[in-house]
Amino acid sequence: MDDEKIIYVLHCNKCNFKRFSNGNDIEDMLPLNLSDIPRNIPKLDIIKKKTIKFPDKKRTKVFRCPKCGFTVKAFKYNKPEEIQEEDDE
């Protein structure tokens, strides 16, 4: 049996577009470029006379919906354990 593959759900809240994907079939989806979120303002280290920068928080990948153009987020999809047991049999 193959290794368990991660499945993602791409869901649009506006038009209810839904797609299950393993990440290989998203060529038709247009990714949106979002900047990282700054965590804190830079601070000055008085002893070393240098600024201390904090790492930015990375954002999840966001796409444009092919139907309405609204933003679509990808969520990890976990099968319920009951369905996984039936698939194994």
pTM, rounded to two decimals: 0.58
Please check the confidence at residue 72 and state whether its pLDDT lies above 50. Answer: yes
Query: Is pLDDT larger for residue 52 or for residue 88?
Result: 52
Q: Extract the tokens encoding 17.
A: 């577009």
Confidence tier at 88 by pLDDT (50, 70, 90) = low
Indicate whether 42 belongs to any domain: yes
Confidence tier at 47 by pLDDT (50, 70, 90) = very high
Average pLDDT over the chain reads 80
Domain that residue 80 falls in:
7-88
Indicate whether 2 belongs to any domain: no
Tell me the Ramachandran region of residue 69: left when phi exceeds 0, alpha when psi lies from -120 to 50, beta otherwise: left
Angstrom distance (rounded) from CA 51 to CA 42: 6
Query: Is pLDDT larger for residue 74 or for residue 79?
Result: 74
| Domain count of the fold of the chain | 1
Indicate whether 38 belongs to any domain: yes
